[in-house]
Amino acid sequence: MSVLVVGTTALDSIKTPYTENPRLLGGSASHAAVAASFFGPTRLVGVVGDDFPTHYIQLYKKHRIDLTGLERIQGGTTFFWSGEYEVNMNNRRTLETVLGVIEHWQPALPGLYESTPFVLLANISPQVQHRVLDQISKPKFVIADTMDLWLNIALPELLKLLKRIDCLVLNDSEARQLVGEDNVVAALPKIHKLGPRYVIVKKGEHGSVLSGPKGLFVAPAYPLHKVVDPTGAGDSFVGGLLGYLASQKSGSIETNLRRALIHGAVVASFCCEGFGLTRTTKATKADIKKRVRELERLAKF
């Protein structure tokens, strides 16, 4: 079944201790849509300016991503982010953000998109996430990703969103912040009380934790010898997991979610091995299957 992804479509300039890469294809929706596209039909909802390079459009198309929902604003500037990573590749700081066309964006969904069964509200303002959700009729499963920025500046809208979604994805420090609880495991039931039936906590290199009606699932990350650029890894994780979930013809969501997290972790591992989307877009379905089998071996006891 189809997946709809809404989020940012951006140009990222990324500095690491080793190198610098200007104006890469980035943004939560770009990473998540490419990740989801490995598993089945994927629809993108995003906005770019006329400075958005044509070869990035070609790259989306190479992944057979439906771009009917990608607006291109004449005279507008594409959302731009630049950041710098420290040696350990975990800490990063933002150098510059130019909102551009994203600032006053009011997404209007193409008619065909309105019946998409699997919806990923990738990281973007809760206002945009609400607006997209308003235009979808009876989705089967809705996941929302978020970040600390929205907890800080748009908490009421985020809390309203939590009542409308099936699954919230956030990292461990955001989980703690959201419910004011130091222990992540103790934070989970408190997050469920805010709405979502499923909560997934991302822990980067330490894997992820799924909490649902049948309890917890502790998922490993794929161990990497080298992290080139972790930007977009969280978006790739959630895109890959929803893409996998939508592609499953049998089994309940509860049952399929565990393997969905594993597939998300594998797509995220490719993301980390190159700048921006450069490594992810070179991965094949066979590469993904191979790493999933490796993770099975790595985690078995």
Which are the contacts of 25, defined by CB distance < 8 A and separation ≥ 6?
10, 11, 12, 53, 56, 59, 276, 277
C-alpha–C-alpha distance, residues 223 and 233, integer Å:
13
Q: At what angle do helices 28-37 and 54-62 cross, to 10 degrees?
A: 30
DSSP 213: T
Question: Closest approach of Cβ 226 to a copy of itself, in Å?
Answer: 6
In this structure, what token pair is assigned to residue 272?
């980390």
Nearest to 45 by CA among 100, 112, 137: 112
- The nearest distance, CB 289 to a copy of itself, in angstroms, is 15
Is position 297 an interface residue for a copy of itself (rule: CB under 8 A)?
yes
Closest residue by Cα to residue 26 from 2, 1, 60, 50: 60
CA distance 218 to 215: 10
With binding defined as CB under 8 A, does residue 193 bind a copy of itself? no
Mark residues 150-189: x for contact with a copy of itself by CB under 8 A, - for none: --------------------------------xxxxx---
Q: How far is the CB of 38 from a copy of itself (least distance, A)?
A: 18
Residue 207 as a binder of a copy of itself (CB under 8 A): the answer is yes
For 116, list phi and psi in degrees, rounded to 5: -60, 130
User: Of 53, 223, 251, 293, which lies in the binding site for a copy of itself, with binding defined by CB under 8 A?
Assistant: 223
The smaller minimum CB distance to a copy of itself, of residues 24 and 262, is found at: 262
Choose between 269 and 280: whose C-beta lies nearer to a copy of itself: 269
CA distance 90 to 108: 36
Give whichever of 18 and 58 is closer to a copy of itself, judged by the CB atom.
Answer: 18
- Quick one: which segment of 93-101, 152-160, 201-209, 245-253 binds a copy of itself (CB under 8 A)? 201-209
Q: Tell me if 262 contacts a copy of itself by CB under 8 A.
A: yes
Which residues lie across from 45 on neighbouring strands? 6, 69
- Neighbouring C-alpha atoms within 13 Å toward the C-beta of 217: 20
Per CB under 8 A, contacts with a copy of itself among 74-93 are 87-89
218 interacts with a copy of itself by CB under 8 A: yes
Contact between 120 and a copy of itself per CB under 8 A: no
Q: Does 296 bind a copy of itself (CB under 8 A)?
A: yes
Per CB under 8 A, residues contacting a copy of itself are: 87-89, 182-186, 203, 205-207, 209, 215-221, 223-227, 258-259, 261-262, 296-301
